[in-house]
Amino acid sequence: MKQLKPIQFDTSKVSPTEKFTSVEMAKLWATYMGNSLSNHILRHFLQHVENEDIKTLLENAFGLTEKFMSKIKGFMEKENFPVPQGYTEDDFNSAAPRLFEDEFYVHYLKYAAKAGLSIYAIALPLVMRLDIREFFIQCGMATTELLAQINGILMDKGFIIKPPVLPTPD
């Protein structure tokens, strides 16, 4: 198993003075809320994970949720737009016992990443502000890299098999 590296996330484009469009508001809000939910779920998973490779994968995903939410909070504060409350400690029982095996954590990550990737992809043709469009491009790239790590772990651990290979048609 090759060593997993932290996923880079950089959206250093300067923000223009344009106000948010309705789509930008909606996509930023949805992205914040989805990452807020995953942030708490991943925090719980990290309390219970045993496998070091899966722990690193969870840490990479958790780091992305933190970075995505921080960047969105910055956008919103700059525009004097209310920052979503998101999910809080009141929504979770951090003392809850382990509910799943490590394998489940990897499958959860795959489906959560696929859901996030679809939000980012849908945002791209609809977002007009350069800095926000660049943010969603970077979200998509980082999430794609995370999915590659997830698929690598799934294959290496034998948690998933490749789809069948079909003969080349004549």
The ranges assigned to domains in the chain are: 28-87+97-156
Residue 128 has what pLDDT? 92
Residue 8 has what pLDDT? 73
pLDDT in tens, 89-119: 899 898 999 999 999 999 999 999 999 999 9
Residue 69 has what pLDDT? 97
pLDDT in tens, 51-73: 999 999 999 999 999 999 999 99
pLDDT in tens, 114-161: 999 999 999 999 999 999 999 999 999 999 999 999 999 999 999 999
Provide the pLDDT confidence category of residue 12 given band limits of 50, 70 and 90: low
Q: Which CATH superfamily is domain 28-87+97-156 in?
A: Ferritin, core subunit, four-helix bundle (1.20.1260.10)
Residue 5 has what pLDDT? 75
CA gap 47, 25 in Å, rounded: 33
Residue 77 pLDDT > 90: yes
Residue 40 has what pLDDT? 96
Q: Where are the alpha helices (DSSP H) in 4-101?
A: 22-48, 52-78
Residue 15 has what pLDDT? 58
Question: From start to end of the chain, where are the E strands?
Answer: none
Q: Please, which residues have CB within 8 angstroms of residue 153's CB and are 6 or more apart in sequence?
A: 1, 53, 54, 57, 106, 159
Exposed (0-12), middle (13-18) or buried (19+): which is 69, by Cβ within 10 Å?
Answer: buried
**What is the identity of the amino acid at 140?**
G
Residue 14 pLDDT > 80: no
Over pLDDT 70: what percentage of the chain?
94
Instruction: Find the Cα–Cα–Cα–Cα dihedral 71, 134, 30, 54, rounded to 10°.
Output: -70
Residue 18 pLDDT > 90: no
